[in-house]
Amino acid sequence: MRSPLLQVQGLAVTAGGRTIQSGLDFEVRRGEVLVIVGPSGCGKSTLLRHLVGLEQPSAGQVLFDGHDLHRGAEASLAALRRRFGVMFQAGALWSSMSLGENLMLPMRLFSKLDATERERQARFKLALVGLDGGFELMPAQLSGGMRKRAALARALALDPELLMLDEPGSGLDPVNTARLDELVLHLRQYLGTTVVMVTHEIASVFAVADRAVFLDPQERTMTAIGAPQELLAHGPAAVRAFFGRAGAA
Amino acid sequence: MAGKGRGAQARHHRQVINTDSAAAAKESENVAGGSAWGLEQGVWTLRLEPGWAGTYRDDAALPSALGSGSRVRIDGATLGRWDAGVAAALWSLRERLKQRGLQVELSGLPAGLAEVLLLAQPGDTPREPSAPARPALHRALHEAGLTIAFFGEVLIALTRWLRGRVTVRGVDVLEQLDQTGPRSAPIVLLTCALVGVMLAYMGGAQLERIGAQGFLAGVVTVGMVRELAGLMTGVILAGRVGAAFAAQLATMQAGEEIDALRVLGVDPIAHLVLPRLLALLLMAPALLAFGALVGIASGALPAVLVYGVSAAEYLQQSLRALTATHLWIGLFKGMLYAALVVVAGCREGLHAGRSAQAVGQATTAAVVKALVWIVAAACVTTVAFTAMGY
């Protein structure tokens, strides 16, 4: 079995002072695609914010490569965070910068690449997501699908070991969603990137996930983890119902 | 690349290329840091060595014999380990060769690298990033046209409201009254007080030279009521309220809230601009009156303490100088400035782009426009009223 890259141990997730998920225990193995799935409002995106260290958990811990993501000197925590790339739900591209600048800023701040190499890598990563001519474009000039892909390219800027994707397919048509799914699989396959993806797109879950974690809003904890097909066939009733209904929708 | 390695690679390629011409043999020595061009079975081949990406530069020399349509091969059989830097460099090289019209064939690449390069194929990004920028004069005229049109829209909406054809929610006006009035009052009063002191101090210094300190109260009173209370109130409202209006509306624009109103058939001018305009027009007279009073009162301090004018004489002179003409002119100007603040803030907010940056730009533009408009209006009205004999 592959060694874990990210370990979630007894994690409790709060939002607005209210605990929305607790007792979360799972790990993300190197090179796998783990999908966090559940109905709207169950705390998927909030959990992701805890996994990337943006929020402090009220209980439990998140270990990245054995290091606690929430305890320690800020400088060392920041260095840990730079080892993963995050794609936010709305893209979060810096609107005052072109796509090229969006990608090159983290490289300029946190790598030793010279300007030529930064530009080459930025252009290449934009090409990877199908935006090879978009280097000079501003975020406001992009369609929703292009913005998502640009955000993915920026998440790849520092060649992360772990890629965190928050609802990459939300707001996209099925073709663009499938294209993003395929891209995620290629990145995992050819670059060996580990991926954690939050989604409620069931088609995406079955397309890309090695394993899925199901967050139950009623139980306020994870009620299943495993390969999507297994969960659909043998998971708890709520999980099968969710997969079945969402799949039929 | 280090000279030793370069020489070794060059020797290696001399053995494998088909050196059917002296020029080709010369090209074979064109070694570019961990790689070497050579002719292999009639095809120009670039053999990549480990560490090649670290020295690759886009401007690396290509064999001069390569013409458009030529077939070239990039051989990565001895490349060894690869990472994103190698992939980026290889992609960049392939694109550069393609741009020269060459047919590029990749061979012997390590597992995964060819697939990654396959991913980085031309996508659907528009090659023309944006429409060509308009000339500055054209842009300025366009902006001026938008502003005039916006003034017109506001006037039409106001007329429709006065004729009862558009309703403005009272709660919206009350909310704006709260935002604009009581919260602006302290800073308006403070500013007017300081201006009153300055006016009295400087006016007193000039009048003292001709022994006319007795007119100081009149100078301060007329100055504050007719010009400065309104001007200072307008300036403060531009910075505080106009900026807030622009930021609020631009944020709504970015979040498609304005579009949602339009889709519902709701006129954004009537729904968003009129409550702000009415609130500020209602609040402006109060702010003006208090500002002028505080300015006149604070002007009494230097008059009494520095220039020896008695408090009673100051009050008497002030009341004598204060005529109805000065009052209505001051009120008119103040309300005009308030209206300009609303129009500048709302115009910039409603015409903002759809990004966080656009919100900032709209806010800045609203403040700058309001200030310029206020000063221009102050100048025009002062000249006009004086010319009319008021």
Per-residue pLDDT tens digits for B136-182? 888 889 889 999 999 999 999 999 999 998 888 888 899 899 888 88
Question: B3-119, which class in CATH?
Answer: alpha beta
In a domain, A156, yes or no: no
Q: Is A17 helix (H, G, I), strand (E, B) or coil?
A: coil
What is the Cα–Cα distance from A232 to A148, expressed in whole angstroms? 29
Question: A110 — contact with chain B (CB < 8 Å)?
Answer: no
pLDDT tens string B72-110? 888 888 888 888 888 888 888 888 888 888 888 888 888
Name the CA dihedral angle for B232, B237, B242, B248, rounded to a multiple of 10 degrees.
Answer: 160
* Residue A117 or residue B115, greater confidence: A117
Percentage of chain B beyond pLDDT 70 is 87
> What is the pTM (predicted TM-score) of this model?
0.68
Phi, psi of B55 (to 5 degrees): -115, 0
Q: Which helix H or strand E contains A20, and what residues bound it?
A: strand A18-29
What is the Cα–Cα distance from B32 to B149, expressed in whole angstroms? 62
- Would you place residue B31 in the very low, low, confident or very high pLDDT band (cuts 50, 70, 90)? very low
Q: In terms of C-beta distances under 8 Å and separation of at least 24 residues, what long-range contacts does A235-244 make, across chains too?
A: A238/A214, A239/A214, A242/A37, A242/A38, A242/A39, A242/A214, A243/A202, A243/A205
Residue indicated by tokens 């390069």? B117
Q: Is B129 within 8 Å of A95 when comparing Cβ atoms?
A: no
Q: Select the residue of B92, B116, B126 nearest A120 (Cβ to Cβ).
A: B92
Query: Which pLDDT does position A249 carry in this prediction?
Result: 47
Measured between beta carbons, the chain B residues lying within 8 angstroms of A123 are 88, 91-92
In a domain, A17, yes or no: no
Phi, psi of A112 (to 5 degrees): -100, 15
Q: Select the residue of A123, A132, A137 nearest B129 (Cβ to Cβ).
A: A137
Question: B130 — contact with chain A (CB < 8 Å)?
Answer: yes
Tell me how close the Cα of A19 comes to any Cα of chain B, in angstroms.
29
Tell me how close the Cα of A122 comes to any Cα of chain B, in angstroms.
8
For B91, which residue in chain A has the nearest alpha carbon? A124
Q: Is A12 helix (H, G, I), strand (E, B) or coil?
A: strand
Question: A116 — contact with chain B (CB < 8 Å)?
Answer: yes
Q: Is A189 within 8 Å of B115 when comparing Cβ atoms?
A: yes
Q: What is the DSSP letter of B265?
A: T
Domain ranges of chain B: 3-119, 139-387
**How many structural domains comprise chain A?**
1
Measured between beta carbons, the chain B residues lying within 8 angstroms of A146 are 124-125
Query: Measuring CA to CA, how many Å separate B379 from each of B291, B328, B334, B337?
Result: 20, 17, 13, 12
In a domain, A24, yes or no: no
Q: Is A186 within 8 Å of B119 when comparing Cβ atoms?
A: yes
Q: Select the residue of A131, A189, A190 nearest B123 (Cβ to Cβ).
A: A131
Measured between beta carbons, the chain A residues lying within 8 angstroms of B88 are 117, 120-121, 123-125
Q: Is B354 within 8 Å of A140 when comparing Cβ atoms?
A: yes
What is the Cα–Cα distance from B289 to B118, expressed in whole angstroms? 73
Query: Which pLDDT does position B239 carry in this prediction?
Result: 95
Q: Is B124 within 8 Å of A130 when comparing Cβ atoms?
A: yes
Domain that holds residue A109: 94-150
In a domain, A224, yes or no: no
Instruction: Note which residues in 228-247 of chain B have CB less than 8 A from chain A.
Output: none
ipTM above 0.90, yes or no: no
Measured between beta carbons, the chain B residues lying within 8 angstroms of A144 are none
pLDDT tens string B288-320? 999 999 999 999 999 999 998 999 999 999 999
3-class secondary structure per residue, A156-200: CCCCCCEEEEECCCCCCCHHHHHHHHHHHHHHHHHHCCEEEEEEC
Q: Is B92 within 8 Å of A133 when comparing Cβ atoms?
A: no
Measured between beta carbons, the chain A residues lying within 8 angstroms of B355 are 95, 139-140
CB atoms inside a 10 Å sphere around CB A58: 13
Measured between beta carbons, the chain B residues lying within 8 angstroms of A156 are 84
Question: A143 — contact with chain B (CB < 8 Å)?
Answer: no
pLDDT tens string B180-227? 888 899 999 999 999 999 999 999 999 988 988 889 999 999 999 999
Q: Is B84 within 8 Å of A134 when comparing Cβ atoms?
A: no
Phi-psi region of B221 (alpha: psi -120 to 50; beta: other; left: phi over 0): alpha
Question: A139 — contact with chain B (CB < 8 Å)?
Answer: yes
Q: Is B357 within 8 Å of A96 when comparing Cβ atoms?
A: yes
